[in-house]
Amino acid sequence: MPANRESSSVGNTPLRALTVREGPPPAGSKRVCGNPSLTVGALREVHPLCMFRRIVFLGACLSIAAAGQPAVQLKQQAEALKARGDAAGALAVIRSAAAADPKSAELEDETGFLLAVLHRGPEAQPHFERAIELEPGFAPAHFHLGVLYWLEKDPTHAIPLLQSAVRLAPAVFDYHLKLGLSFFEVSHYEESVSELKIATQLEPGNAAAWNSLGVSLQQTRAVPEARDAYAKAVELAPKDVRARNSYGFMLVQLRQPEKALEQFRKVLEIDPDNAEAMINIGFTYMQTGEYTKAEEQFRLAIRVDRASAVAHYNLGLALKMQDTLEEAKKEFQETLRLDNGLPEAHYTLGMTVWQLGDFEETATQMQAAVAQRPEYGQAHYLLGSALKQKGDVPGALKALREAARLLPEDPGPSNMIGQILRMQGDLEGSKQAFAEGARIKQKKEAEQSVRLRQKK
């Protein structure tokens, strides 16, 4: 997955920092997808985001004992084959056991599980469904079928099945973990946090779960809580550089730059070529106004990863803040060459060329920004300003009215609309626009006065 870029700002310029991955696959998970030669130990440690994590093994299947000695012997053979990593051989034996005991939900589920391990998902699905039909309260079948649907990118069917697994077996760590991660993937962050909190309670020593909880909390903007979750992940897994980078970034957000720098430097002690840590160090210096130091870090990151659009973007910001506009412009252009889908980069390039007097290019970049992010109020505002400079009055008014809608606490768009209407001779419209700008300004000043009195 690509890196997740958290946004902050320097002045009016959006700042993007490389923090953690968008999805929270936990550190240390074994990616064995595509490898049918699995040991039992590997099967137990596979994280559900990659493949099915087996909670209930055949050793826990109580109904087999009642099925007669042949089924028991077949089960023992299957366990031996699994121990040797022979999933295909185990599948053949389990099928024989299922034939001997056709009403065993556990054996149907085990058959589906081994088929899924062998990347035969379409064949696995009916076995999970049959297991649920035979025993509706058998949680592992609900869980495995839910994961199968998830791997098929069908959250509509996956999440209810995972919820059923949690309801049927509320004390199983993996069920809560997978459901929490699934909620995260569909941007249901509050629900994700709830499930991941339960997961960390069930297995408080699981660093991956704490890291995933931190990611979800970060999305809910619960920064202190996210910091604490990442701190726990780092305590449990000191060499997990992703968790440590995220922990440091939360410290930056909480205005603790020195503590943040300490974490990022520890990352570099573990991994000297970690571009993410270099970018985060640069981001920290940007927040403290040390732009030359920030520039140095971003250049180091680019030496490690020349294809990092984030590093080039942040280098452009550091240069812009030092008024090195032509160099900044080149970095923003390189950013967009590497990744044209960054509305912030279009916006900041547009702002830079505006300062260089190129209103045509400003309009082009703002149009790209609002096309990618229609609710980007500041981009609509600068687009209207650029079109006004170009003499495109209808286009300017349209952009500025959208900016006024999206930025209800900014008097600027209304005041610029008033200026344009006055130039057109629409005195009544101009008067109304200026009055709206004055109202917004007075409201902001009153709110600021209240805040200042509260601080006293």
- Shared fold status for 27-169 and 383-455: yes
pLDDT in tens, 94-129: 898 888 888 999 999 999 999 999 999 999 999 999
pLDDT at 190: 97
Beta-sheet pairing, 3-10 with 13-21: antiparallel
Total-model pTM = 0.77
For residue 112, the SS3 value is helix
Distance CA 197, CA 205 (A): 13
Residue ranges of the chain with pLDDT lower than 70? 1-71, 456
Distance CA 263, CA 256 (A): 11
Distance CA 142, CA 164 (A): 6
328 C-beta neighbours (distance < 10 Å), count: 25
Name residues whose C-beta falls within 8 Å of residue 233's C-beta, 6 or more positions apart in sequence.
27, 207, 208, 210, 211, 214, 240, 243, 247
- What residue segments make up the domains of the chain, in order of their start? 27-169, 383-455
In CATH, what class is 27-169? mainly alpha
DSSP-derived secondary structure letter, 441? H
- Alpha carbon 97 to chain centroid, angstroms: 43
Beta carbons of 165 and 156 less than 8 angstroms apart? no
Q: Phi/psi of residue 9, each to 5°?
A: -150, 150
Distance CA 389, CA 356 (A): 13
pLDDT at 407: 96
pLDDT at 85: 86
Beta carbons of 335 and 311 less than 8 angstroms apart? no
Whole-angstrom distance between the N-terminal and C-terminal Cα of the chain?
47
DSSP-derived secondary structure letter, 13? E
pLDDT at 22: 36
pLDDT at 208: 96
Tally of helices (H runs) and strands (E runs) in the chain: 23, 2
Distance CA 15, CA 21 (A): 17
Q: Does domain 383-455 have CATH number 1.10.3720.10?
A: no
pLDDT at 249: 96
